[in-house]
Structure formats: structure tokens, C-alpha cells
Amino acid sequence: MPSINRVLADLAAAFGISTEFWDWKGRLTEVSDSTVVGILAGMGVDASTDEAAHQALAEQALRSWRRALPACTVMRAGNETAIGVHVPAGSPASVHVRLEEGGRREAWQVDNEVPDRDVDGQWTGEATFVIPGDLPMGYHRLVLETPSGNREETLVVTPHFLGFPAAMGNRRVWGYATQLYSVRSANSWGLGDLVDLGDLATWSGTQHFADYLLVNPLHAAQPEPPLEPSPYLPSSRRYVNPLYIRPELIPEYARLNENKRTRVAQLKAALDKELAGSERIERNAVWEAKIAALRVIYDEGLSEVRMMAKENFVRGEGRTLTQFATWCVLVSRFGLNWREWPAEYLRPSSPEVAAFAAQYAREVDFFVWLQWVADDQLREAQSAARAAGMRIGIMSDLAVGVSRSSAEAWVLGDAFAQGISVGAPPDHYNQLGQDWGQAPWRPDRLEELSYAPFRAMVAGNLRHSGGLRVDHVMGLFRLWWIPEGMPPTEGAYVRYNHEAMVGILLLEAHRAGALVVGEDLGTVEPWVRDYLRDRGILGTSVAWFERGDDGNPLPPEAYREYCMASVTTHDMPPTAGYLALDHIRLQHLLGMLTESLDEELALAERTFDTWNRVLTERGFLAEGESDVAEKVLAMHRWIVASPARVLCAALTDAVGDRKTQNQPGTVDEYPNWRVPLSGPDGEPLSLEEVFRSECAARLAAVMNDFSVHAIGRR
């Protein structure tokens, strides 16, 4: 591959685009010119010709000089921070901080040897000021005073270290991980909902003494079918999917007259009949029935006090909520992909969109109401978890991004790169790379927006959660950008200001008293794990992936203390299915194996033979034991013997499920994210049956035995 030209390389460096990377075979690989040009175009930079590239580089060099203050300054509490301000040459200037909670602190100027510079025909000087290190944590305003007027920007003071929330004390904790939609009760509408979440938390906390419940992302999907089944490809990460609402638990349901209650009951009965015998979670059918019921309840109206509560929620969410709701209504008129809408509706700030929102004000209010109701039921679920004695309660899962046709991409506009999708470079399992179809945030626009969209998203996810799992936490450091029309192999890494993004994540978690876990599996630069540990963010250790230098399973004593240790993940089969080699046979049926079925089975058998040996040697598994359920328990004894402060058990493992929730590399070839929770016999389990599961009780006994070193030891 030809080397990238120098001007393009300098321009790439200025915008955080890596022009080379280490591939999965350990080779240093260069990125092509066309990839860099495509990524720059996604940031609104024209580098299609040498002349355009030179001009763009010259403009970039003047960017910071055209600003009186940095767009956003993020610093750690306890550290003094120097900033450069730009004023007309020779003009006096002073800087102070206006604190979030009131008050003022002065910054002081230090000597600066940077020469004056001609910026757009005016000589501009740079003065350096030092911000004191003893500022309180929070979102403050940095104010520059000059004779020609004042300028101000955002200053964020973040925790140096997060660590464990006070609610944990010095205790070790464990919890269940589950895909909420798969856990259906007798009263839910065809999939697990927020009321089921609260009930599951009550059972987990009071009967099994678990301290948290990790759920799949509850982010909002499309407002009408076909609904995206993957919770990791949402329409909005800030708002909740109203699919998880339980209609009958909305207070206004109690006020319905007999005819309206009968109508809601008929909708549910018809849905139950339609879903009878189905082996999948049918989101489209569920949503069509549920939204009809929700409209009946919405039309009942609100009491005066309930209206006050709703208006307070709307005020707190601001304009973004109304824009999201407007998008939902626009989708019903013009289709799911907003990029194909009439031109006058492509920007939420257009007069035509305002007129549309006014014309359909009641419909817009309905989608606002749905978010308020979902937020209320999520709050009740967390309240139930804490009432059950859970130290953390609900732990939310934050997806990597949103789809390119999402509400967020419409609302936030050029905060997202245009004509770009996020994915992954080739690796051993996906040798053609991956395109996830997600729109990436632009690092430069995030800074200009003072990271407000990121702050709001994190705060929203932590509002009713005691913890946050960040999927693909490396996305706070870099993402693999793929220009439109190019294969995943022709992407490149684009770096983000991780100091700012991680810092803001920590600040929001600190305010919420929450735990943060970063999913750092796969190819991760070693320094990233060190950095996260130094900032008090837990990593993720999955037993199947943890290996020593000799290739054997890493001894549990060698696990990290600052990690969430588990046996499996949602991207792998439940442990019973994994041990039974179900996943290999499935991949064979789907034509995904690179070797023959017999070779893959033999390789897996050798791996499991090694595990059987080490588990037996440690006393976690009886000699010659062949029962899969016993092996599942032994694997969990392995992670319990680690120093990890947070342990995680999959609910699928607790009930003996063998069915895979997600088969990476497939879309409709396998019913990803549509598999109901099942028992060892493959038959779907209701939530009520989970409550009575002896298999789950046995696993909970293992998870609660924090001193385990051999079978039966307490």
C-alpha cells in the first residue's frame, strides 16, 4: 500500500486520524489516502485535492488562535491546569472561574514566550493562565475579561479517581446479567418489561442476596415497526424504549372506565393468542398491541398533580426531548430513515419542522408522555432493587453508538460524522472486518459543544441506576471509522479526547454514587487498561478469554481486583450450551466455520479437557464429573476464587439455558436478540418459574460463598 502523502498525514494528525495500525496478525498496516480523505469529509473537511488539503491544514492551524478561550477545558480535581487565551496583541486580559454553585475564583497569568501571530489580518497574542487545582468538582464557567468585552466557555472539574461507590463499602458484590426482553412473566405483554425488572430485582436481592442486576441497553428503538431487535443499535441512547412499559401499572389505568379497561384487556388477549407457540420474541406484534393500549391510557388525561410531575420531567429534559418526540411523529409520516425525508424536514431547527410539531402537538406530546412513563417505571424498578437490599441495584448497559438513521443523528446533526459508519478492523473471528452501521460522534464538534450531548446521555442512563457498564469502552479512546462505500478493511482509527470523556463519565457517576464497568475485551492497547484502572473504572474479565502466557486458563488469583469477573457474556452461548459445543454446531449450520466441523469440535474438546483438568486440580469439580450443570457451577467457583471485587453470573447460566442470544456475524440467519429465556430442556421459562428454579438457587449458593476454595467449603 502506498505511503500517505505528508500534507494529508499532517491533516490526519490534526483531526486525530491514525494513519497506521497494528492488525490482528501483528503487522503494522498503513491506511490509504482515500480512507483519510473519506474520513476528513465526514468531519466536513475537504481534502480531495492537494490544494484543498493544503488550505484545510492552514485553516486548522488557525483554529485555536481564532478562539479567545478553549471551547471546553476538562481538568482533574487537585491538579492545576494551564490554558492559553487569545486577545489582540498588547491588550490586557484577566481570567476567573464562575463556580457552578456560586462564587468566583481567580486564575493567574504566567510568562509566555509564544510570539504574536497574524490571524485574518489582525495581530493576536497568546497569554497563559493557570487555573487553581482546588476547585470543586462540577461544570463551571471560565471567563476571560478584556477591554473589548468578556468571553466565557465551559470548565469541567472531574474526579481523579472513581472506584467503588460508598454503598459497596469494603464488600465484594455479585449480581445477575440478563436480557430483560427475554424474561417474560404471566402479566407482561410478550416480552420482559420494567415491572418484570423490578420483580426480578426483588427476587435476586431477597432470595439470592445479589447486589445488582445488569440489564441489556434499554435505549429507545424506532417508534414503529419494523423494530430493530438489537438493543446495541438504538435510535437514542438518552431515552428509554417505551416497549418496556407495563400499561396496567400506569396510574391513569386505574381511572379507566370499564369499557376502556376491557379494550386494553382485549388487546392483550389478542396478542397472547397471536404469540401462542412462538419460539421468538416478537417485538413488532408486541409494540403494535402495546401502543394501542398506551393510547387508550394517554387519552384519559392527567390529574393536576400528575401534570405537575410530567411538566417537571419535561423541563428537566429540555428541548432535546421535544425534538426526539417530534422525530417519532415525523417517522410515522415519512418513514424510518430521516435521510430520505423531504429536504425541509432534515434539520430539527427548520421552520417546517416547527410548524409540523405545532400541527401535531398532541401526537408529539404522546411520545413525550411515553418517555415520562418509562422513566417513572424504571425509577420504580430501581426503588424495588434498593428495597430488596441491593447495594447497587439496576446496572445499565451503555451501547457503543446509535444507528445512522437514528433520532440522535437527526437531532444532533453535524455532531455526528456524515457518510461514516463505525465498525472493527479484521480479526481472527471476522477476517473481513465489521461494519456496525453506527454513526460516530465527531471529536471536534463534541469539544465545541462542551460535550453536552455526552454529558446528558450519561446522566440520563445513571438517573435510575446504581451502575453503568460501558460497552466497548475503547470507544471513549478511539473508534474504527469506515467511509461510506468502502469495506470495513478500508477504515481507520479516529481518536477522541479520552481525558475529557472519561473525566465527564466519572463526574456523572460520582454524582450518582454509581459504579462504572468498562467492557475492555478484545484488542485493547495495554495503556488503556492501565489508564482505566488508574481512574477507578473496572475492567471486564471473562473466564473463557483469560489465559496465561502458557496458553492455559489464567489462575483465578491472577485476575484483576478492579474488574467484573464472569464466565460468559451476551455475545457467547450460555455456559451449558458452550460446554455442549452447541455454538460450533450452530456456526457449522450457518456456514461460518473456517475449518471443518470435526476439526473445530476436536479443538474445543481439547480446550475443555484443559478446563476439566484445572477445575479438578483446584477441587472445584469432582474427578470424572461429566454433568454439564456441575461443570457450570465449577466454572463459577473459579471466578469466585479470584480477587475481583465484582462478580457476574448470567441468568441463562442460573436456569440452565443453552440457547445463544446473539450469534455475531449474523443478522437474520439466526434470531439474534429474539430468544426467550429457556430451561435445560429448551422450553421457554416464565419469570414465575425462574423464581422457583432449584438450578438458580444452587448457582446463587456458589456466588455467595466468597471464601470458596473447594467444593463444599464455606
Query: For the segment 8-21, what is each residue's pLDDT rounded down to a tens digit?
Result: 999 999 999 999 99
pLDDT at 1: 39
Least confident of 119-133, 291-305, 411-425, 592-606: 592-606
**Backbone region of residue 712 per phi and psi (left: phi > 0; alpha: psi in -120 to 50; beta: other values):** left
Mean local confidence (pLDDT), 42-46: 97
Query: For the segment 568-621, what is each residue's pLDDT rounded down to a tens digit?
Result: 999 899 999 999 999 899 989 998 887 899 999 999 999 999 999 999 999 999
Whether 664 shows a pLDDT value over 90: the answer reads no
Instruction: Give buried/exposed letters for 624-663 (b at 16+ CB in 10 A, else e).
Output: ebeebbbbbbbbbbbbbbbebbbbbbbbbbbbbbbbbbbb
pLDDT at 706: 58
Whether 380 shows a pLDDT value over 90: the answer reads yes
CA pair distance 496, 479, nearest whole angstrom: 8
Q: Which three cell numbers stand for residue 17?
A: 486520524
SS3 letters for 587-648?
HHHCCCCCCCHHHHHHHHHHHHHHHHHHHHHCCCCCCCCCCHHHHHHHHHHHHHCCCCCEEE
Whether 2 shows a pLDDT value over 80: the answer reads no
Whether 500 shows a pLDDT value over 70: the answer reads yes
Query: For the segment 389-401, what is each residue's pLDDT rounded down to a tens digit?
Result: 999 999 999 999 9
CA pair distance 443, 39, nearest whole angstrom: 12
Which pLDDT band, with edges at 50, 70 and 90, does 713 fall under? very low
pLDDT at 429: 63
Q: Against a cut of 0.85, is the pTM above it?
A: yes
Whether 712 shows a pLDDT value over 70: the answer reads no
Whether 708 shows a pLDDT value over 70: the answer reads no
CA pair distance 505, 44, nearest whole angstrom: 27
pLDDT at 400: 94
pLDDT at 705: 87
Round the average pLDDT of the chain to a whole number and report it: 94
Which pLDDT band, with edges at 50, 70 and 90, does 26 fall under? confident
Whether 687 shows a pLDDT value over 50: the answer reads yes
CA pair distance 21, 29, nearest whole angstrom: 5
Here the contacts of 29-35 (C-beta below 8 Å, separation 24 or greater) are 29/1, 30/1, 30/3, 30/4, 31/4, 31/492, 32/1, 32/2, 32/4, 32/490, 33/2, 33/4, 33/5, 33/8, 34/483, 34/486, 34/490, 35/483, 35/486, 35/490, 35/491, 35/492
Whether 711 shows a pLDDT value over 50: the answer reads no
CA pair distance 672, 663, nearest whole angstrom: 6
User: Which residue intervals of 388-490 are DSSP H helices?
Assistant: 407-412, 443-448, 452-462
pLDDT at 4: 65
Query: For the segment 268-312, what is each residue's pLDDT rounded down to a tens digit?
Result: 999 999 999 899 999 999 999 999 999 999 999 999 999 999 999
pLDDT at 384: 98
Burial of 146 per CB tally in 10 Å (0-12, 13-18, 19+): middle
Which pLDDT band, with edges at 50, 70 and 90, does 240 fall under? very high
pLDDT at 523: 74
Whether 402 shows a pLDDT value over 90: the answer reads yes
Tell me if residue 493 falls in helix, strand or coil. strand
User: Rounded to the nearest 5°, which phi and psi values hold at 687?
Assistant: -60, -35
Mean local confidence (pLDDT), 436-459: 96
